[in-house]
A and B are shown apart, each in its own frame.
Chain A
Amino acid sequence: MDAIILQILNGLDKGSAYALIALGLTLIFGTLGVVNFAHGAIFMLGAFTAVTLDRLLNMSFVTIDPTRTNFLGQPLEVKTPYIVSWFGDSIGNGIIDWAVPLSILFSIPIMLFIGYAMERGIIKHFYHRPHADQILVTFGLAIVLQEIVKAFFGANPIPTPAPAAFRGSFDFGVWLGFPANAIIYPYWRMIYFLFSAIVISGVFAFLRFTTFGMVVRAGMADRETVGLLGIDIDKRFTIMFGIAAAVAGLAGVMYAPINSPNYHMGMDFLVLSFVVVVVGGMGSLPGAVLAGFLLGVLESFASMNEIKSILPGIDQIIIYLIAIIILLTRPRGLMGRKGVMED
């Protein structure tokens, strides 16, 4: 039982990342009708805003310590971050320690801008082109973004730890009445799940309870009529692209302490997120979220040794297997609108 609960937690955690990325993807598809293969790269850029802020906070001046030597036997260059020299040891190091949570604030305007620039600069020229063209151009864009990040940050993963207070793990099992040490779960993964729940609720609330959101929803349902009413729907859709980029970026920022960011982390998530969107239903926001968590949990269950001993290799194909079944039996996806992908 404890093993099952542990895998449910793992699944929810993986699902959080899938759901956040897929939410942005489907938001873009639903509003602009664009299949955005650069969305994984946006997730990666989000993680790298955390790396960048960490580097900025660690910007240092160099002093020579003649009493110590470096690996070549020369006097050691000691680096002191400016922030530590300005605010003192405890406050300075405290700020550096909190680089990842601080990156949330840092990344929102950056990701909004990146999304906006991407849509205005490239993607808007492909609205009336076939989906194949859109896929090619956004995929190319993803590769370009990847290579730029690699040129600046190198190919190896860069450790970006969570604040010291949230490192390590806690005994989740005790809360549920299990004996001690039965279900140990890392703090940061729990925070990631809660964070994604807040972001997802925020996006839904924004679309549901604001006038802007209402117009966007109306535009998603019938773009032409909304346009005929004298509303500049394109402008609003561009802003939605920015918001979708910010959601994926935030998913990336918070993911940085879970696995050290590297330049191709976006590609690792991209294909899975597309499967999530297809399973959930193209253009359906609740569908993307539901499918994200569902596939995350199923993937975790499939990697349990008990399941693999019955069906070897199932952990590697489970997600695609579900996608095939859904496409065969219900092409519009779990919560897709009737008619979408069915004609």
Chain B
Amino acid sequence: MSKLILTRRGLLKTGAVAGAGLAMPTIFASGAAAYTNEPKGGTVTLGFNVPQSGPYADEGADELRAYKLAVEHLNGEGDGGMLNTFSSKALKGNGILGKKVTYVTGDTQTKSDAARASAKSMIEKDGAVMITGGSSSGVAIAVQGLCQDAGVIFMAGLTHSNDTTGKDKKANGFRHFFNAYMSAAALAPVLSNAYGKDRKFYMLTADYTWGWTQAASMKAFLEGVGWTMVKDVRTPLATTDFSSYIAPVMNSGADVLILNHYGGNMVNSLTNAVNFGLRDKMVNGKQFEIVVPLYSRLMAKGAGENVKGILGSTNWHWSLQDEGTKAFVKSFGTKYGFPPSQAAHTVYCQTLLYADACERAGTFNPCGVAEALEGFEFDGLGNGKTLYRADDHQCFKDVLVVRGKEKPTSEFDLLEVVEKTPVEKVRYEPDNPFFKGGSLGKCNPGA
């Protein structure tokens, strides 16, 4: 019969050997790879993290269509889309740095924890070298933080909160989409021209990061053109019937209602406001008006007739007539049978911009890619001349002010562009109070 004898010295020895053994793979791995998920074979994997279930699933589906189209174009399939109009000519249609582009997808469910879990899985299990997507600022900020820690690049999708490139900005994160400040800066002069200088406004605001920054921006700019705020009321994100929030507006003395709502909230609050006859009302001797600062065509569809004549802003619209837009709408429309949404546009651009930066940097290393994107000026992607500012990784480009179309010619023709606000009018300094706090930090290559 054998007997197991444990001594203190023996245990320490065994422990040390076992510990070294366990640590070995990590030591070798970090010696072999310079950064997280360095592509070794003939392919490179991108991670598309979009809402595939939950209330924003339709936007997520449109984003995914655009991502697939971008992958096709990068690999030299299809008609090339905006690769033909993009001012940078580094991309050759042979993948990225000669490697064929493949992708994996994750479902954010429009929940921060689910989005982080799916991004983490794509990085750790699938070897994604870049994560992109999202259809909400809460999600974008959460995933951006995760990518910073994991050492991969995050190319944000539809996120409009000032905080994404403000107090929560990260060195590994980049945003092509515009933000709440830019919307407000573009809208205020148009609203003042359209509705007069002496107006009283009432705001209903979705109670989360995007709503807060949108409301603060609108307040600052509208007060700047001489309007007075009557009240800003926060509404819980889960609200479905806004009637009890709309009722107090009617006798508040306000003659404009600003709806800082997005998605289902926007559809319901706008429908309720119109049904309550607000748009037929005369207050202070003026016609009562409603404004939706952030428009989305997909969501506008849900509100049906109620969007007619209502002003708002958008990042991009398929009816623009520049060469980039035309090329993108043509390849997307031919493949899927309908025009792309602004969410589809921004994620398509982000994928091309990332691939182009890798080509110009000659590496997939996040620090090299980030350096190539910082201060990068480009054109031909549908928004005119655009700058990826180095200070905060925010794109600066013209902003579109749109209005719900009175006589749509098709089910896609819901918005008309009222004004293209030049980028100079919406530009701000990196230390602007709306974006203060936080810092980019250092780029993290991981591994």
* Chain B residues with CB below 8 A from A260, complex form: 267-268, 271, 302-304
Report the minimum CB–CB distance from A63 to chain B (whole Å). Answer: 15
In the complex, what residue of chain B is closest to A268 when comparing beta carbons?
Answer: B240
- Shortest B253–chain A CB gap in Å is 12
Q: Are B238 and A268 in contact (CB under 8 A)?
A: yes
Q: Is the CB of B410 within 8 A of A159?
A: no
A225 within 8 Å of B by Cβ? no
Tell me whether A169 and B267 are in contact (CB under 8 A).
no
Q: Are B247 and A70 in contact (CB under 8 A)?
A: no
Asked whether A188 lies within 8 Å of B275 as measured between CB atoms, the reply is: yes
B55, CB-defined interface residue at 8 Å: yes
Would B410 and A258 count as touching, CB distance under 8 A? no
Question: When chains A and B are docked, how far (Å) is the Cα of A258 from the Cα of B280?
Answer: 18
A304 at the interface (CB under 8 A from B): yes
Decide if B304 touches A186 in the complex (CB within 8 Å).
Answer: no
Question: Is A325 in contact with chain B by the CB < 8 A criterion?
Answer: no
User: A186–B302 contact, CB under 8 A?
Assistant: no
Q: Which residues on the B side are within 8 Å of A68 (C-beta)? A: 409
Min Cβ gap B280→A in Å is 7
Once the chains bind, are B334 and A259 in contact (CB under 8 Å)? no
| Residue in A closest to B277 when the chains form the complex, CB atoms | A169
How would residues 280 to 314 of chain A score, 1 for a CB under 8 Å from any chain B CB and 0 otherwise? Answer: 00000000000000000001100111000000000
Binary flags per residue of A151-190, CB closer than 8 Å to B gives 1, else 0: 0001111110100000111000000000001101110110
Contact yes or no, A10 B318, CB < 8 A: no
- A150-B57 contact, Cβ under 8 Å, with A3-B248, A72-B330, A260-B268: yes
Q: How far is the CA of A212 from the CA of B241 in the complex (A)?
A: 37
Q: Is the CB of A157 within 8 A of B241?
A: no
29 A-B pairs with CB atoms under 8 Å apart are A2-B251, A3-B251, A6-B247, A14-B244, A68-B409, A71-B329, A71-B338, A71-B410, A71-B412, A72-B334, A155-B57, A156-B58, A156-B302, A157-B264, A168-B277, A169-B275, A169-B276, A169-B277, A181-B282, A184-B250, A186-B277, A258-B275, A259-B241, A260-B304, A262-B264, A262-B302, A268-B238, A300-B244, A303-B245
Residue in B238, B272, B319 whose CB lies within 8 Å of A259: B272
B447 within 8 A of A: no
- Interface pair B240/A184, CB less than 8 Å apart: no
Question: Does B233 lie at the interface of the complex (its beta carbon under 8 Å from any beta carbon of A)?
Answer: yes
Say yes or no: A184 contacts B301, CB within 8 Å.
Answer: no
Query: Closest 9 interchain pairs by CB?
Result: A159-B304, A169-B277, A155-B57, A157-B302, A303-B244, A186-B275, A300-B244, A156-B58, A6-B247
Chain A, range 1-53, C-beta contacts under 8 Å to B: 2-3, 6-7, 10-11, 13-14
Docked pose: A300 CA to B239 CA in angstroms: 12
CA distance A71 to B245 in the complex (A): 39
Given contacts A72-B334, A262-B55, 4 further A-B contacts (CB under 8 A): A150-B53, A265-B240, A268-B240, A305-B248
**Cα distance, A167 to B280, chains bound together (Å):** 12
Q: How far is the CA of A334 from the CA of B257 in the complex (A)?
A: 40
Closest to B329 in A: A71
- For the complex formed, measure the closest distance between the CB of A65 and the CB atoms of chain B, giving whole angstroms: 11
Q: Does A201 contact B (CB under 8 A)?
A: no
Q: Judging by beta carbons under 8 Å apart, are B298 and A156 in contact?
A: yes
B363 CB to closest chain A CB (Å) equals 38
A45-69 interface bits toward B, Cβ cutoff 8 Å, 1 = contact, 0 = none: 0000000000000000000000010
Residues 336-378 of B at the A interface (beta carbon under 8 Å): 338-339
Using CB atoms, name the residue of chain B closest to A158.
B302
Across-interface contacts of B412 in A (CB, < 8 A)? 71
- A-B pair number, CB within 8 angstroms: 122
Q: Which residues of A contact B241 (CB under 8 A)?
A: 14, 258-259
Which of A71, A303, A304 interacts with B318 by CB under 8 Å?
A: A71
Q: How far is the CB of B73 from chain A (nearest CB, A)?
A: 18
CA distance A2 to B248 in the complex (A): 10
Contact B277 A184 (CB under 8 A): yes
Q: Whole-angstrom distance between the alpha carbons of A300 and B244 in the complex?
A: 5
Question: In the complex the two chains form, what is the Cα distance from A265 to B267 in whole Å?
Answer: 13
Q: How far apart are the CA atoms of A157 and B55 in the complex, in Å?
A: 9
**Interface positions of B from 217 to 253, Cβ below 8 Å from A:** 231, 233, 236, 238, 240-241, 243-245, 247-248, 250-251
Contact B248 A304 (CB under 8 A): yes
Closest to B338 in A: A71
Does B54 reach chain A (CB closer than 8 Å)? yes
Q: Quick check: A157 and B267 within 8 Å, CB to CB?
A: yes
B275 and A154 contacting across the interface, CB-CB below 8 Å: no
Query: Are B268 and A3 interface neighbours, CB within 8 A?
Result: no
Chain A residue with Cβ nearest B301: A156
**Closest Cβ–Cβ distance, residue B195 to chain A (whole Å):** 20
State the Cβ distance, A60 to closest chain B Cβ, in Å.
12
**CA gap between A3 and B244 in the complex, in Å:** 10
Residues 135-150 of chain B, each 1 if its beta carbon lies under 8 Å from chain A, else 0:
0000000000000000
The reply to whether the CB of A85 lies closer than 8 angstroms to some CB of chain B is: no
Chain A residues contacting B302 (CB-CB under 8 Å) are 156-159, 260, 262
Task: Tell me, yes or no, whether A264 is within 8 Å of chain B by CB.
Answer: yes
CA of A227 to CA of B245, assembled, Å? 51
Which of chain B's residues has its CB closest to A304's CB?
B248
Asked whether A80 is an interface residue with its Cβ less than 8 Å from the other chain, the reply is no
CA distance A178 to B271 in the complex (A): 26
In the bound complex, how far is the Cα of B57 from the Cα of A71, in angstroms? 24
In the bound assembly, the distance between CA atoms of A100 and B154 in angstroms comes to: 46
Chain A residues contacting B248 (CB-CB under 8 Å) are 3, 304-305
Q: How far is the CA of A300 from the CA of B233 in the complex (A)?
A: 15
Query: Do the beta carbons of B247 and A10 come within 8 Å of each other?
Result: yes
Residue of B nearest to A312 (CB): B234
User: Which residues of chain A are within 8 angstroms of B318 by Cβ–Cβ distance?
Assistant: 71
Contact A72 B236 (CB under 8 A): no
- Min CB distance A336 to B, Å, is 27
* Residues A3 and B272 in contact in the complex (CB < 8 Å), given A71-B412, A260-B303, A268-B238: no
Question: Does B305 interact with chain A (Cβ within 8 Å)?
Answer: yes
Contact of B305 among A159, A188, A265, A299 (CB under 8 A): A159
> Out of B244, B271, B298, which one reaches A299, CB within 8 Å?
B244
Contacts of A159 in B (CB 8 A): 271, 301-306
